[in-house]
Structure 1
Amino acid sequence: MNYSKKIRIFLSAIIIMSVIPLSSCINNNGNSEPISKTEYMLGTICTITVYDNKSETVIDNSIDKAFARIKEIENKMSVNKSGTEVDAVANAAGKNFVKVSDDTFYVLKKGKYYSGQSSGSFDITIGPLVKLWGIGTDHARVPSQQEIDEKKSLVNYKDLLLDEKDKKAMLTKPGMSLDLGGIAKGYSADEAARILKENGVEHAIVNLGGNVLTINDNPDGNPWTVGIQDPFKSRGSVVGTIDVTNKTVVTSGIYERYFEKNGKKYHHILNPFTGYPMDNNLASVTLVTNVSIDADAMTKNIFYLGLDKGAEYVKKVPGLSAIFITKNKEVYVTESLKNDFQITNSSFKLIHDIK
């Protein structure tokens, strides 16, 4: 599938993703039309929109360079492509170390750190379970308990060995595999923003399937307004809005990828300990912070922890804020966001106190 297309859109347009930029503005030089390009990468729809009053050619080139960088990362780390570095590590599982690029080694190192920091609730070696369930593919199914138990035995971040000196990686057990889908998208957003900034972009939104990263403020000097996805509706339905400047906004929720079997919904956020989709009182978690790769990894652990323990985790991380949406449509916002978040959907209730 190829969604490559250059489009001009007015600033009031809504980019329909898990987290939805909603800002409407006209820059100080009177240019009311941003330049936006959309590509299908990383298994999702990715959009980069630049709001600078510069020539179309200059902006086009900047966006193209950012997308080229995302494609480079995808070609190294995607589980949906063959011949990647992630594939090579899996093929050598239980046999030998594999030399990887600086990009892949950095993401593996970050991923192993957050896997350990979460005590394994976020685990980048979850590949065997992800492939078994096939959620988000045309062969999604509910595996047998025996199948789940077999694949669970292959999931353990401690069995990922990293050679810092030579930038090599090894999975110690045959049959193990990596899945960097819970962290590579954040790294891609950070890298796309870096490329844009290096090419002189001053006001932009990078939106990689719900990993939103804002560059500076919007052209009129105000924060960007970002809509938070309703986890019970199709993409584009909003629970509320948040104002951000130079921040990343990352959401994980039960609506992103799922299938139904015998009246039960099975979503893609798997629990490495049970082998089944995570099951608690949360429908989605949105994190707001400075670095997208960190937010990407932390959302899965915080989702696993649930509302109360998840909120405690957020409080301990400097510069991290969160929005929790429960299955009974209650919205909890951490203290640092209380002045920036607004409910816009009357079917949800904002609860100010997090225990």
Structure 2
Amino acid sequence: MFKYKKILFYIISTISLIFLLSGCMKNKSEPIAKEGLFLGTYCKITVFDNVSRDVLDKAFDRVNQIENKMTINKPTSEIISVNSKSGLDYVKVSPDTFYVVNTAKHYAELSQGKFDVTIGPIVKLWNIGTDKARVPSPKEIQDKLPLVNYKNMILNEKENKIMLKQKGMLIDLGAIAKGYAGDEVKKVLEANGVKHAIINLGGNILAIGSKDNNKNWKLGVQDPFNTRGEYLGTIEVSNKAVVTSGVYERFLEEDGKKYHHILSPKNGYPIENSIVSVTIVTDKSIDADALSTTVFALGLNDGLKLVDSLKNTEAILVTKDKDVYTTSGMKDNLKITNSQFKLKNLSLK
């Protein structure tokens, strides 16, 4: 799930499609910030209120707590304990871990299994984003696919216990845990008097409040075909989470072919459709995180249909042809600044 420190340079250069555009805050105090490697990725929290720097330490302490419970890239964690007991027994976990796994199961049901955190055995085969990345053989993939099935992830809500029914099953929370961490950081900051802040956990953006002049934060939507910092357009948000999934974020190249990191639970290979990136804008970061992958897996039509059915949730989808599709509530917000991209309408049926 969370990548190793030795690939810090890689992570910093690929943190997301979404970056905060520079802008001035008319605050009497200078903003305070803390950045570094957390959750195995580059993170930064910037606060625009007159509060103690201890608030930033408290926020990142919370991030570390979540990582230590949910990572699969450390010697021990609650998720590692669940995985090690697959096919054998329930494991009692913290309310944090249970909530994230339960939310993941909700999105698996919502997408009919196209979002599935039991994809761990397939993720381990590919190892995209690590120095062990490789293209597995068709037989290796076929051998592991029967282990991927969210319906075999059994949850005991009364006792916060989780069991994987089949031996060899593995949960990987890489597509959702970072979003939960963003929400928890927001809680810590707000509990300590923060009213204006930007949380950036590896490109998962969460805006607290608005600028202190009551203007929205302006975010740039990365051009997925260009170098970092080149935008296709901008959006404005306040009190929203913004999360993007794209084919260019992490990939493996072998024999002239690129294999991106968004893997299908159905066939074990990188998902192939017309989409190159999905940006979700909604109230909670955990939902935005899970939905960005879910919508990518569902594809253009079904993905937009799903987002349109959800309250306070909007999406931007970019295709291989540089066509841009949005949900109805995002159409007037997105300002395309790169003429290579065209805003299109899609008639959903």
| Deviating more after overlay: 293-302 vs 270-279 | 293-302
Instruction: Quote the residue 1:183 is aligned against.
Output: 176
Does the alignment pair 1:313 with 2:310? no
In the alignment, what sits opposite 1:25? 24
Q: Percent same amino acid at aligned positions?
A: 51
SS in 1 for 2:277: strand
Shift of 1:256: 1.1
Select which of 65, 71, 79 maps to 1:78: 71
1:48 pairs with 2:45:
yes
Q: How far is the alpha carbon of 1:79 from its aligned partner?
A: 1.9
- Residues 104 and 116 of structure 2 are in contact (CA less than 8 Å); yes or no, is this contact kept in structure 1? yes
Q: How many Å separate the matches in 2 of 1:353 and 1:312? A: 10
Residue 190 to residue 47, structure 1, CA distance change in 2 (3 Å): same
**Separation (CA, whole Å) in 1 of partners of 2:274 and 2:184:** 34
Q: Which amino acid aligns with 1:37?
A: K
Task: Name the residue aligned to 2:11.
Answer: none
Counterpart residue number, 1:101: 94
SS of the aligned residue for 2:299 comes to helix
Q: Which runs of 5+ in 2 are unaligned?
A: 9-13
Q: 2:36 aligns with which of 27, 36, 39?
A: 39
Q: Which amino acid aligns with 1:44?
A: T
Aligned pairs for 1:148-227 (under 5 A) are 148-227=141-220
CA contact (8 A) 2:111 2:298 kept: no
Q: Unaligned 5+ residue runs, structure 1?
A: 5-14
What residue is the counterpart of 1:243 in the other structure?
A: 236
SS of the aligned residue for 1:187 comes to helix
Contact 1:2–1:39 (8 Å) recurs in 2: no
Offset at 1:330? 1.1
Contact 1:23–1:224 at 8 Å: present in 2 too?
no
- Displacement of 1:3 after TM fit? 11
The CA RMSD over aligned residues, in Å, is 1.8
C-alpha contact (below 8 Å) 1:332/1:354 kept by paired residues: no
**1:325 is paired with a residue of what secondary structure?**
strand
CA shift at 1:353, angstroms? 4.5
- The 1-side partners of 2:321 and 2:207 are apart by 30
Aligned 8 A contact 1:114 1:297 in 2: yes
* Aligned equivalent of 2:80: 87
Q: Residue 232 of structure 1: CA displacement?
A: 2.0
Partner of 1:12: none
Given that residues 76 and 84 in structure 1 are in contact (C-alpha distance below 8 angstroms), is that contact kept between their aligned partners in structure 2?
yes
* Alignment partner, residue 266 of structure 1: 259
What CA distance in whole angstroms lies between the structure 1 residues aligned with 2:214 and 2:201? 24
Measure, in 1, the Cα distance between the counterparts of 2:327 and 2:109.
25
Tell me, what secondary structure is at the counterpart of 1:319?
coil
Distance 1:43 1:16, change over 3 A: closer
The verdict on how the C-alpha distance between 1:214 and 1:354 changes in structure 2, with shifts beyond 3 A counting, is farther
- Of the candidates 334, 339, 353, which is equivalent to residue 332 of structure 2? 339
CA shift digits 1:156-176 (9 cap, x unpaired): 001111111111111111111
Count of aligned pairs = 339
Report if the CA contact (8 A) 2:15-2:42 is conserved: no
**Alpha-carbon distance in 2 for matches of 1:345, 1:252:** 20
Per-residue deviation, 1:354: 5.0
Query: What are the Cα deviations for residues 137-167 of structure 1, in whole angstroms up to 9, with x where unaligned?
Result: 1111111111001111110001111111111
Change (3 A) 1:104 1:16: closer
Query: Where does structure 1 differ by over 6 angstroms across 4 or more consecutive aligned residues?
Result: none
1:327 aligned partner? 320
**Are residue 229 (structure 1) and residue 226 (structure 2) matched?**
no
